[in-house]
Structure 1
């Protein structure tokens, strides 16, 4: 884990994100997120989105933190329970360019189902900055990990009302405090509304201030279905985007940290679906328009796990959006060379965009200093397209350490093997993950680890071998270029794990989603990891094998290749039922539309689902009927 000193320096922006390895950046994002959700933020929500999370998204788009729901932030004493409905996060866009790409994805999906582009309908709502929950009418749950949360029904028992005195059971929403009320009565006692919202939820008795806010109906549960909306076509959204954003941001008297755009068309929502973290038919727009003209003091090269050299730009300290900015990334040396980004340059700096702080443009070019040697291993650097790269991949310390740390991070079933531990192992000539697995307690003690720490590390290694992990996650942990979690999972739907090193370019390119260039990069990238893969594979990792698509096609049951939706309380975990259904060739959706074949119902089914099934002519079957058919 990160030391408190590093956390403090990041909190005050005394360290640039580019000075961190991906593992360290992800750890700080987790720490900041936990603090935020506990009602004790260490950085502003704006800084979290526009500096740290955005940097992680740009540097390591397949990081697990970006692919799953963020943890809640504190431990509830209540046991985690399955949510009545999965609560996913919302993908974020920080520029019009990202919104444009999202609209293009909408249009592409619409064409696939024969929906006219002029028929695509969009709605925009304020993105509430409260505490997310789900109200099923009987209980109120925290969002948890999106699948399981904690029962915090005590909030309603304490007198909390639903916005506009609406009935209970309206589903997902947020616990919020009126902005005008907070500023008048609570701002002197609480630094952020988030601090106050947290006090409403925790198990301890309510303060007089909290009780009064509930009685005054200033603290409320605001169901998303009650949010005011703007709606229109994609053409209207494009033509009036800035106007729409400005209008929606002031629609409610609550803290808002963006605008949520989502598709209205049910068929299109079904077609677009969701990934592990968010619905593809929905996106939140956040923007920071503050800019400044800043002088460059120096440009320093840093090397990452892949060998690419990143120019870190030291700036004259500049106050921007409430923070003092002293560093920014130059992205790559091709850009440094092209724009004349050198000592004495004047740049336009912002804190909006994909990587924040971000240099928008160089206003005053100066001579640039392009390094000849790697800052980690001193070997000569080479140009690969726009990137200055260290190709000493087998012996460059920064790359070796980064790759080993990446393996444990992606495997995600162990603790203790962060960047600090890996650097210490490197100092004792450990150069590969397989060497780490060959260690014992005596080895670690000799290297300077305490006996208890050594024992814990060995236990974690054993845990990572025995605890089941998906075969595609194991493969992704080797860090082959273009082989993130998604591509690895897709690849193993068509070929067994043990066979992938024998695949040729054509076999990979024939898989849907793999272009020829990607297939070529993968074939070349697998060669150097083959020996290390075999060494680790012999440890007998408990790998969950992905079921091949061709094997699915041999399954003989009448629901094979049918589209179904599960709803209501089932005898088994609904998530387990979904997972099993997919494993036997059933296509599982979450929204009723004309493309759905069956609605499978359990107990306590909402009438809307039944009505939607009738509307679209979807056959309804009980859980017992479903189980008998499979």
Structure 2
């Protein structure tokens, strides 16, 4: 091929990208539509004559390709974490104060930016070329929507830079795919003209567009993007703060928020939040809050993240939208654990861009507290993605013959789905259906079992779950492993008059993903089995301390947590120094003192064993009284898990898993795994003032090397890390023969 043809192609591509950026990113068109179309047609003609010139990064590839059969799953190089959020400016101040306490010797500055109301995505570039785009998913993995994202013209297909040295070998940009308000209006106008259903709001339209398997259809949707963060970065210039990141994103060709604030105090942050609220309606895309981030990346690394969110960022949500409507009736839903939840059936009303016809009422006690009655005019509220809720009643409009709500009258003391008995769960202020074979519970458990955050079984949503139960093809989640291709292929999702079969492609996907779930870890399986009170974070945590179901079923850790709860209750009852329950005589006092001392010893021993395992930490030694401590899982959850394993349902589940040869493994971070750390299983106490790091940082370094920290020196303490002005703890450590490390010695050991 003539080299001049290659040069012409390169020139056309670069010129079109330059005009794309001017139009879609900078909002400053640099060429007329007619001239742009001429350049684009010239590129298409050249590539038609020389197809070998076409690459995935050519502007011609934005029009979309062949429809996909389904989305692949992408593992994020770094987790896409969600943010803690608040509706209170006081909580924003408390958050900033909390971070300052974690970094006591640092001058902190903050970035406030708009919180775009879109769909979170990650864009991966390798050697400057766009290679993979994925949704957030469960934060660990998401859908591969690369082909759909290629159609968005504000996403550069290759990073722009002044020199090759400016380009990282790997760069992941993170942000929100959005639909502008003007684009949304045009899209709905076209759909109305074509007789298609209208989207409720820009976010729904965005989500629906990204889920399309046909990227050619996505190319016709007015999608846009706003970038605000990064994932994995390898090489390139140093990006050490949020402000510098925004500069880098802009240089690479990304659209970033036009309005950001760099603040040095809590009051400046609050002022920025208020200013953003005043101007955000002028934006051409929806925002639902402000995001507050610690500016410097090195300080972010020092304070780290929790299991759910970074400690260095928070989302502030603006006041929730409310609407007034009529409560037509109250129905009862049955959840996967049998909980009966009252649901408000409303006169449809527009709220936050969506038509709302149902809202949660939480439970019968909440209804009684708010005195909500059928026929009332009610105020409903929707905050972000949270289910709409009835928050109050307009009693001026109440009908004279209205009656208070009575769940027993509505249900006739029976489950509305299976007719089984119901009973009050006092601990959780809820009524439950106690029939484990209730079809509504079974369908909910099946859907939960298949969720992305559980075993991620494809093609198993609410309708399929309902029909599998209704047709008696499964009774419980583990029956999925017995389903045949023929049973699924011919499954009627409709009715006798209007049949709609599941189909072979869907059946194959479901069976394949069911079989893939065999290899998933203990954390996924624990969450999937819908054990009462066991959420995803707690399931993941328990899997770190147990190697399999068998070890969890007889967990010494959880039994210790339960026993400690009993011992603490007993200690309160027999405490001889109690003001409420004073000894009746000297002999009674002596007897109680001896018994109390035994209980304190038992509590201390059990706490120490949990501390060594990394499952507990002592927050305060109380001398005569039991120590204050925290455990990774509380007694309520521990009891619920152990009760489930000891129940008929739990036993049958374990037996069935053995029959199916399914034995998921946990990571078991007990003593065996901690043996690898420098301070494996060792107990530290920190005292005095450290000059080069905060106590939180020292604690993090100790834990990273397998050690644990407590607050008081005892004969079980292995090391005392002593800073300046170490007092009585240093004296006690020397008396007990505890190894004392100064800050220099400590740092030299771990470096």
TM-score by length of structure 1 reads: 0.59
Equivalent in the alignment of 1:127: 115
Moved more, 165-174 or 278-287: 165-174
Equivalent in the alignment of 2:359: 328
Contact 1:376 1:397 in 2 (8 A): yes
1:376 pairs, out of 408, 412, 417, with 417
2:438 pairs, out of 393, 396, 399, with 396
Equivalent in the alignment of 1:91: 83
Equivalent in the alignment of 1:519: 638
Question: Any idea what the Cα deviations from partners look like across 1:440-490, whole Å, max 9, x if unmatched?
Answer: 568779987989759946971785267521122112211112322321221
Contact 1:303 1:398 in 2 (8 A): yes
For 1:447 and 1:358, the matched residues in 2 are separated by 36
Are residues 254 and 133 of structure 1, via their aligned partners in 2, closer, same or farther at CA, if it must alter by over 3 Å? farther
Equivalent in the alignment of 1:172: 173
Question: Any idea what the Cα deviations from partners look like across 1:185-205, whole Å, max 9, x if unmatched?
Answer: 99988997988x999x96899
| Number of aligned residue pairs | 480
Equivalent in the alignment of 1:539: 660
Contact 1:351 1:357 in 2 (8 A): yes
Question: Any idea what the Cα deviations from partners look like across 1:160-179, whole Å, max 9, x if unmatched?
Answer: 99999998779626699997
The SS at the match of 1:335 is helix
Question: Any idea what the Cα deviations from partners look like across 1:1-36, whole Å, max 9, x if unmatched?
Answer: xxxxxxxxxxxxxxxxxxxxxxxxxxxxxxxxxxxx
Equivalent in the alignment of 1:264: 295
The SS at the match of 2:344 is strand
For 1:420 and 1:494, the matched residues in 2 are separated by 37
1:492 pairs, out of 529, 535, 543, with 543
For 2:444 and 2:158, the matched residues in 1 are separated by 50
Contact 2:455 2:528 in 1 (8 A): no
The SS at the match of 1:115 is coil
Equivalent in the alignment of 2:476: 432
Equivalent in the alignment of 2:277: 246
Contact 2:455 2:517 in 1 (8 A): no
Are residues 443 and 157 of structure 1, via their aligned partners in 2, closer, same or farther at CA, if it must alter by over 3 Å? closer
Contact 2:546 2:667 in 1 (8 A): no
Q: Residues 144-543 of structure 1 correspond to what in structure 2 (within 5 A)?
A: 144-145=134-135, 150=146, 172=173, 223=254, 228-232=259-263, 235-236=266-267, 240=271, 243-246=274-277, 249=280, 256=287, 258-266=289-297, 268-274=299-305, 279-287=310-318, 289-352=320-383, 355-364=386-395, 367-372=403-408, 373=413, 374-385=415-426, 387-409=429-451, 411-427=454-470, 429=472, 430-438=474-482, 456=507, 460=511, 463-464=514-515, 467-497=518-548, 498-503=550-555, 505-508=558-561, 510=610, 511-512=615-616, 513-528=632-647, 529-541=650-662, 543=664
Return the offset for 1:158.
11
The SS at the match of 1:489 is helix
For 2:525 and 2:671, the matched residues in 1 are separated by 22
Return the offset for 1:124.
0.6
Are residues 280 and 156 of structure 1, via their aligned partners in 2, closer, same or farther at CA, if it must alter by over 3 Å? same
The SS at the match of 1:548 is coil
Question: Any idea what the Cα deviations from partners look like across 1:282-338, whole Å, max 9, x if unmatched?
Answer: 344444654333232211222111222111112233344454433222121111111
Return the offset for 1:140.
3.4
Equivalent in the alignment of 1:590: none
Return the offset for 1:220.
11
Ranked by relative contact order (alpha carbons within 8 Å, sequence separation 6 or more), the top structure is: 1
Larger Rg: 2
The SS at the match of 1:493 is helix
For 1:178 and 1:401, the matched residues in 2 are separated by 35
Contact 1:294 1:347 in 2 (8 A): yes
The SS at the match of 1:390 is strand
Contact 2:458 2:510 in 1 (8 A): no
Equivalent in the alignment of 2:244: none
Unpaired runs of 5+ residues, structure 2, are: 1-63, 192-198, 224-249, 494-500, 563-609, 617-631, 683-703, 707-746
Return the offset for 1:434.
3.8
Contact 2:112 2:272 in 1 (8 A): no
Are residues 183 and 115 of structure 1, via their aligned partners in 2, closer, same or farther at CA, if it must alter by over 3 Å? same
The SS at the match of 1:246 is helix
Return the offset for 1:346.
2.3
For 1:305 and 1:178, the matched residues in 2 are separated by 35
Q: Residues 619-630 of structure 1 correspond to what in structure 2 (within 5 A)?
A: none
Return the offset for 1:380.
4.3
Return the offset for 1:494.
2.0
For 1:538 and 1:499, the matched residues in 2 are separated by 18
For 2:181 and 2:343, the matched residues in 1 are separated by 42
Return the offset for 1:503.
2.4
The SS at the match of 2:394 is strand
Contact 2:332 2:340 in 1 (8 A): yes
Are residues 472 and 453 of structure 1, via their aligned partners in 2, closer, same or farther at CA, if it must alter by over 3 Å? same
Question: Any idea what the Cα deviations from partners look like across 1:117-162, whole Å, max 9, x if unmatched?
Answer: x955432112356886456772235541467774988989999999
Are residues 292 and 343 of structure 1, via their aligned partners in 2, closer, same or farther at CA, if it must alter by over 3 Å? same
Return the offset for 1:540.
1.6
Contact 2:363 2:429 in 1 (8 A): yes
Moved more, 306-315 or 257-266: 257-266
Unpaired runs of 5+ residues, structure 1, are: 1-71, 211-218, 562-584, 588-618, 620-628
Are residues 156 and 427 of structure 1, via their aligned partners in 2, closer, same or farther at CA, if it must alter by over 3 Å? closer
TM-score by length of structure 2 reads: 0.51
